[in-house]
Structure 1
């Protein structure tokens, strides 16, 4: 193991109740947790039809392929930083390493707000899915917020489990979900609507009609889940090896599933008819095509698995938000109570309760302001899911871009620019692409949300994100002046231990143990 010292580190090790339990997750458990957040069935049922209908672009498989390449380039630098810094607040820890603790503090607040928003939106999506399913099968209408709140409560209970037990729950749901997606894809390949295996959707000329930027922004959210892997590094066996492996496996798996899934949708509907079908069927497109190809029973089972898939994604995002809150509490960015874990299973309970509370408040707020007729479940999709998804997705994309810049600065400052030149190049290309997606997403936000192009919503959501960032930066600056020892420990987790001078125990020099061999 090599070590190098360049910065002062302070102890944040607070004993067993202030640390996540180590050695709980292996490659399979971590991969299940990450892929559950990517929710391939949810993307096929909700994101892909929206992209087809909104943009009118048949070449959606190529959009997912481009996003997969960008994600792979991002992962090159991100995985190397993750190998060196095992931290439950992955994004902000990485950013603090390269861009400094103050910027890391700002990033921590953006990450926590983004993941809390994403999990709340998924709660609304469950409400929509359950209402649709019950109405279709039993002709019974219920208010969407009832299953939404039940799902939030269920996830809050599941989050109390040990992380490895939670990973098993996610693993079972994910395997069944992926199996049904593969069955649908295979059926579309064997029995395409046009009676021939058309490669039209894979033709680059399909992108010539425009709308590529909008499609990239719509589909980018499907690739935000894989970046969660380093959040579990402190709970993973051999994190320097496992986290890196899972990151690349997740990117490859998500890209393959989404490219094949979007192509299968065009085959099942017919390349000429997919846009029209998506505009007419909306979120019911996948289930209608599955019913035509594989029968009504398969479509019903697929619909049930869609709901459980959203539930799995909700649990995955909830766990990540809870760990960010835990990491921030441990390092003085939130009250110290957030930096404690549950003795029985090692779960970060205060962070979990915070995520649950935010979800309940948001569901209640959208339910109380819902002016649609009783039983109409579209509010959580057109408003709650769209708005929180746009806020959270934009936040994660910005954090990914900042992480790319941080990786470049980190390696250059450590004198590793030459041996890491290919990683720096990959990080630079990914960072530019991610910044482009974020900027275009802000510009086209009203279109993406189906809102008034001249309305305030397109400015409010990015404005809220900027406000969160500025609040975090101000906190970082205040800590730098008033509590420099806390400021120096931002992004350090439990790695550093230093006793204060004159404490009677002596002083250990701060040492970075960042390279695992």
Structure 2
């Protein structure tokens, strides 16, 4: 019996739950996917947390400008990625694409890198979520708990949502996303009407400013703001129209995220002045002990306490939305690997009523509990270590995934010359994207010490070496696993990343 037969089961009748081993088909439309994509990038968190920290850590005043070429690069990547989604609909996304293009051994290696990357992003965000929620609840509600307890509470809620219908998750993310975007837009308008002491300076749009200080580290931070945009294909089996939904949602998300982050990061710096934003002494003198307090603090001064309290609350929900989005992505990668026999087949089980990959979901929740618990027991700083280390590791991993996937797209269509797509989407765009992704990845690794130490001139930290080894090493481990399957379980190996023509037609019809 084929190890991927459960996924080929016919769709359940209307009103019935999905068959065991089958995801909830035809559940998601373009708006749902856009919610998942943009929510994973956590707009309020990215602006108030990630982008604020980028200014201070790198000393780079040209962050707004960097979002423009980066969005263009990601848009070029999305051309080939969208073309691939028209031919392959699978919850494994990157993993399946690389298998189809470059082969099973590198494909399984990519799957392991994806698991490390998305787990790192999700678990790392718990650190900032715990601290932000603990601060808000103590200050506004009067409930005092250490950060790790809020991580436990949030993780329990996510564990429950992870086994419910995927469209319910989309609604939860949609509400959080809309509210946090509104808060940031109001902040942006407030800065335009009342900018900081330097006025509305245009230094943020200067190419020379963008390339002048730790550009590799700044680009990696910016990539972290985008992480999640590539997740549309993960849900392709659950889309109403996989041939169109994935492509449309990806392009819309890249455009929205790029414009939103470029403008908002520019206005964030102008709320206190770019010079102050990149200088820790000046920032502290202005009354901001760390960069993540700038948006709420300066916004409260301009817009009032009601806005400030709302923004502080939504900062917590923004982090929660990102946690949920990454949780769903990880559980589907685990599902795909279980379905094809790379992982034990128990991971391919889906809930008979909701279609959620509940075993993979519970496994991700358990892993997050263990890692967060280890950091808490060790007394490690939840923001400077748990959040910073793991989210930047995840950003590097996604760069690696996108680079390899780009070349896999070229290889896939080269082996299928009878396709109905043009050279731009099947060869030229993905090749250009792959090369540019490799360049950004190299710059990120070269500047990784800045990301780990939060300083442009600090001595090399041990984790600067350890974390990239973990990332690239996971890919090697994955390839070893695939090689072992080829030798010991050739039938399972032969079916990795493959679907029958009937099943592919069912998904893409």
- TM-score of the superposed pair, with normalisation by structure 1: 0.89
* Distance of aligned partners of 1:138 and 1:344 in 2 relative to their CA distance in 1, 3 Å threshold: closer
> Is the counterpart of residue 244 in structure 1 residue 247 in structure 2?
yes
The aligned counterpart of 1:44 is 47
In structure 2, distance between residues paired with 1:315 and 1:511: 29
Contact 2:486–2:493 (8 Å) recurs in 1: yes
Give SS of 1:247's match.
helix
The aligned counterpart of 1:289 is 298
Give SS of 1:273's match.
helix
In structure 1, distance between residues paired with 2:409 and 2:41: 24
Give SS of 1:333's match.
coil
The aligned counterpart of 2:321 is 312
* Distance of aligned partners of 1:416 and 1:59 in 2 relative to their CA distance in 1, 3 Å threshold: farther
* 1:10-64 residue CA offsets vs partner (Å, 9 max, x unmatched): 7453642111011111111111111110111000111111111011122110111
Contact 1:12–1:331 (8 Å) recurs in 2: no
* Distance of aligned partners of 1:9 and 1:513 in 2 relative to their CA distance in 1, 3 Å threshold: farther
In structure 2, distance between residues paired with 1:406 and 1:183: 42
Structure 1 window deviating more from structure 2 (362-371 vs 240-249): it is 362-371
The aligned counterpart of 1:496 is 500
Gaps of 5+ in 1: 1-7, 372-378, 498-509
Aligned-CA RMSD value: 2.3
Contact 1:84–1:515 (8 Å) recurs in 2: no
Within 5 Å, give how 1:89-168 maps onto structure 2. 89-137=92-140, 141-168=144-171
Structure 1 window deviating more from structure 2 (348-357 vs 429-438): it is 429-438
2:257 is aligned, of 240, 251, 254, to 254
In structure 2, distance between residues paired with 1:199 and 1:389: 29
Contact 1:11–1:489 (8 Å) recurs in 2: no
> Is the counterpart of residue 24 in structure 1 residue 6 in structure 2?
no
2:207 is aligned, of 204, 207, 211, to 204
Within 5 Å, give how 1:386-425 maps onto structure 2. 386-415=388-417, 420-423=422-425, 424-425=427-428
> Is the counterpart of residue 34 in structure 1 residue 28 in structure 2?
no
Give SS of 2:290's match.
helix
Contact 1:10–1:496 (8 Å) recurs in 2: no
In structure 1, distance between residues paired with 2:400 and 2:123: 20
Alignment coverage as a number of residue pairs = 489
The aligned counterpart of 2:15 is none
2:442 is aligned, of 414, 439, 448, to 439
* Distance of aligned partners of 1:208 and 1:310 in 2 relative to their CA distance in 1, 3 Å threshold: closer
The aligned counterpart of 2:477 is 471
- TM-score of the superposed pair, with normalisation by structure 2: 0.91
* 1:302-361 residue CA offsets vs partner (Å, 9 max, x unmatched): 010010010011000000101111111100011111101011211101100111001000
Contact 1:70–1:433 (8 Å) recurs in 2: yes
Gaps of 5+ in 2: 10-18
